[in-house]
Amino acid sequence: MPVEHNQSRSIAPHASVGGVIAELAGRPLLPNAGIPLNLDWVREVRVNTSAIERRAQSQVARRTVKKEWQAAWLLRAITCMDLTTLSGDDTDERVRRLCAKGRHPIQPGLEQKLGIEALQIKVAAICVYHTFVETALHALEGSGIHVAAVSTGFPAGLSPLAERINEIRRSVEAGAHEIDVVITRAHVFGGRWQALYDEVAAFKQACRPAHMKVILGTGDLLTLRNVARASIVAMMAGADFIKTSTGKEPTNATLPVGLVMTRVIREYAQQTGMAVGFKPAGGIRTAKQSIDWLAMIKEELGSSWLRAEMFRFGASGLLGDIERQLEHYATGRYSAEYRHPLA
DSSP 31-78: EP------HHHHHT----HHHHHHHHHHHHHH----HHHHHHHHHHHH
Nearest CA-CA partner of 311 in 280, 273, 269: 280
Note if 279 is an active site residue.
Answer: yes
Note if 180 is an active site residue.
Answer: yes
Residues 6+ apart with CB under 8 A from 249: 155, 217, 218, 219, 220, 282
SS3 202: helix
Put residue 275 in one of left, alpha, beta given phi > 0 → left and psi -120 to 50 → alpha.
Answer: beta
Q: Could you tell me whether strands 125-128 and 81-84 are parallel, antiparallel, or unpaired per DSSP bridges? A: parallel
Q: CA 135, 139, 142, 143 torsion: positive or negative? A: negative
Q: What angle do CA 6, 10, 15 make, to 5 degrees?
A: 145
Note if 92 is an active site residue.
Answer: no
- Give φ, ψ of 338 to 5 degrees: -65, -15
Q: Which of 240, 279, 292, 321 is catalytic?
A: 279
What are the CA-CA distances from residue 52 to residues 15, 46, 102, 113, 297 (Å)?
35, 12, 34, 41, 15
* Most distant CA atoms of the chain, gap in Å: 58
d(CA 186, CA 38): 20
Q: Which of 240, 243, 292, 321 is catalytic?
A: 243
Q: Which of 82, 180, 220, 292 is catalytic?
A: 180
Residues carrying an active site annotation = 180, 243, 279
